[in-house]
Amino acid sequence: MKHTERYKTGFFCPEDSPTRFFNKDYLEKAPIWCSVDLRDGNQALIIPMNLEEKLDFYKLLLQIGFKEIEVGFPAASDTEYEFVRTLIEKDMIPDDVTIQVLTQSRDHIIKKTFESVKGAKNVIVHLYNSTSVAQREQVFGKDRDEITAIAKEGAKLFCELAKESPETHFRFEYSPESFTGTEPDYAIEVCNAVIDIWQPKNPGDIIINLPATVEMSMPHVFARQVAYVSERLHSRENVFVSVHPHNDRGCAVAASELAILAGADRIEGTLFGNGERTGNADIVTLAMNLYTQGIDPGLDFGNMPDIVEQYEMITAMDVGVRQPYSGKLVFAAFSGSHQDAIAKGMAYHQKNGIPYWTVPYLPLDPEDINRRYETDVIRINSQSGKGGISYILSSRFGYHLPEALRREVSYFIKRVSDKEHRELEPNDIQNVFTLEYINRHETVSLESAEWSNHHKTASVTIRYNGETRSATADGNGHIDSFAAALHKCGLDFTFEDYAEHALNEDSNSKAAAYIKISDKEGTVFWGIGVHEDIAEASVLALISAVNRMKKGE
């Protein structure tokens, strides 16, 4: 990191474009989406997809709702060519979907490309040649006029070949490759030279695609380049301006959004941003960003876990656990304060019927993309708090802990996580919670219990450290008389508090009872009983509390 003098900023930022280059501060509608996963994304894989994998990925893109799909570079390999032919010959292209194919501006490659799409109904043929200063000087050794001539020759051949397939509705696309390294005035010149040949008559007949083949500047600079060119294109009313951002500076999503504000109509990108080097614009993130602003993205990511699973299986790529919207941990709250805020926010929404999503720490409702609160949001480790743990025990297993018990249970669960150095899944939490609090009988177990005198007299037999003990005692009710009988059996404790509830709304469901006692030093012990009969549950809760007290002696 010693040679910063080798680099410079502000590559070809149009000097006379205004700082304020757009007329609105917010996106108002979704752009036209074009997936380039099957071409740009595929060539970025260590092992490119085979025919069957490409077909599976293509079906996934249709499922999500893409209407424009770049299916490959058919002149590049037999697999690419065969894939395009398979889609056409097996009638796998819906009438409302347009396939896109890519070609360099070289005669034999263009001819092979047009040959590959014979018989298709709707096709975008995408022509490109490199226009940047670096490419002109270092790779091709050609001046501007010579580079423009390459583009014009390819454009003319497009017109000739399209006439040979009248059954196909062709649209043409041109990219000045390495646009971000091209002087803006020259980018306009070469694009207009191509437009003048193609002569678009209807909106969208022509697409001018402005690729950040290498991301070289801050997003607003790219957007100013887009605005500058967009405003100076011939036949602009019939031309869609598209952008194809790469992510070398980690700003492809931001650059895409600003480019739309600057006048772009269309985005070329990939699922999860897979592309050369650091990747392409992430269409999942872009679409979900729109969704969370109340704009229909026109793409369906309602089952995000399934999309991630299919993507990873087909491509052998991994979606990062912190990848926006799609990563396994993007909604995860381990922090106790975060969990508490989420749990309270959820309860507030449910109670008050809030029309807009405003739950703290969650930018969208995870259920909108088929994620679950208990497994994806409230995650339990040694940093968790009572709110999160109580939420899982309540929402997943039906235990509504008394407020005074929540803190104790949270510390207990956190100690388990800390000791085992791992996150606890909901079933882990239920298991350790059950073993510690529910229906315990290891030191003291109930042999029998009978009540008389309207439940004010209890006759009880227990096993205490292997010894059978019996007693009869009076009290002011079911629990009080049972506690008095336990006292006569030699168990010394003070009854403190009691709560109960059904574990769910089913009339045949089990009930949970919570009892708090204290020993002679004032140390508190909770026990929980679970049974079909609430009276039996309360007895089991007291026995559990006594067992926890005895364990602590």
Per the prediction, the chain carries an average pLDDT of 90
Give the per-residue pLDDT at 271. Answer: 97
Q: Is the pLDDT of residue 550 over 80?
A: yes
**What is the distance between the alpha carbons of residues 14 and 10, in angstroms, rounded to a whole number?**
9
Q: What band does 339 get if pLDDT is binned at 50, 70 and 90? A: confident
What integer pLDDT is reported at residue 149 of this predicted model? 96
- Please indicate whether residue 324 or residue 342 has the higher confidence score (pLDDT): 324
pLDDT of residue 307: 97
C-alpha distances in Å from residue 99, one per residue of 72, 463, 523: 9, 78, 73
pLDDT for residue 450:
93
Question: Whose structure tokens read 């500076």?
Answer: 249
Q: Which residues of 38-63 are buried (b: 16+ CB within 10 A; e: fewer)?
A: bbbbbebeeebbeeebbbebbebbbe
Determine the pLDDT at residue 392: 82
Q: Is the pLDDT of residue 2 over 60?
A: no
Of the candidate ranges 376-380, 435-439, 445-449, 453-457, the one whose mean pLDDT is the lowest = 376-380
Strand partners, 444: 464
Q: At 343, which helix (H) or strand (E)?
A: helix 336-352
Q: Which of 151, 176, 191, 214 is nearest to 11 (CA)?
A: 214
DSSP string, 428-461: HHHHHHHHHHBS--SSEEEEEEEEETTTTEEEEE
The pLDDT of residue 8 is above 90: no
Angle formed at CA 254 by CA 250 and CA 260, multiple of 5 degrees: 140
pLDDT exceeds 90 at position 447: yes
Query: Bridge-partner residues for 395, per DSSP?
Result: none
Residue 6 has a pLDDT of 47
d(CA 384, CA 418): 10
Predicted local distance difference test score (pLDDT) of residue 386? 56
Closest CA to 170 of 237, 227, 117: 117
Rounded-to-integer distance, Cα 156 and Cα 306, Å:
44
Which of 200, 256, 257, 211 has the alpha carbon at shortest distance from 233?
200
pLDDT above 90: residue 362? no
Q: What share of the chain is helix, strand, coil (3-state, %, to 5)?
A: 45, 20, 35
User: What pLDDT, on the 0 to 100 scale, is given for residue 4?
Assistant: 44
DSSP 8-state code for residue 4: G
* Contacts for 367 with CB less than 8 Å, ≥ 6 apart: 373
What confidence category does residue 495 fall into, taking pLDDT thresholds of 50, 70 and 90?
A: very high
Q: Does the CA dihedral 465-468-473-477 come out positive or negative? A: positive
| CA–CA dist 204, 168 (Å, integer) | 16
For the cut 90, the answer to whether the pLDDT of residue 337 exceeds it is no
Give whole-number Cα distances, 263 to 117, 154, 219, 222, 243, in Å: 31, 27, 14, 12, 10
Instruction: Return the pLDDT at 1.
Output: 55
Q: Is 101 left (phi over 0), alpha (psi -120 to 50) or beta?
A: beta
- Structural domains of the chain in order of their starting residue, each with its CATH number: 26-293 (3.20.20.70), 336-437 (no CATH), 444-552 (3.30.160.270)
Give me the pLDDT at residue 5, please: 53
Taking the C-alpha atoms of residue 379 and residue 362, their distance in angstroms, rounded to an integer, is: 14
Are the C-beta atoms of 192 and 234 separated by less than 8 Å? yes
Quote the pLDDT of residue 349.
85
Residue 7, pLDDT above cutoff 80: no
Strands (DSSP E) contained in 218-351 are 239-245, 266-269
Of 546, 487, 492, 491, which Cα lies nearest the Cα of 515?
A: 546
Among 10-24, 108-122, 138-152, 348-362, which stretch is predicted with the lowest mean pLDDT? 10-24
**pLDDT tens digits for range 238-247:** 999 999 999 9
- Say if CB 75 and CB 87 are below 8 A apart: no
Residue 354 — φ and ψ, nearest 5°?
Answer: -65, 125
- Total count of residues recorded for the chain: 553
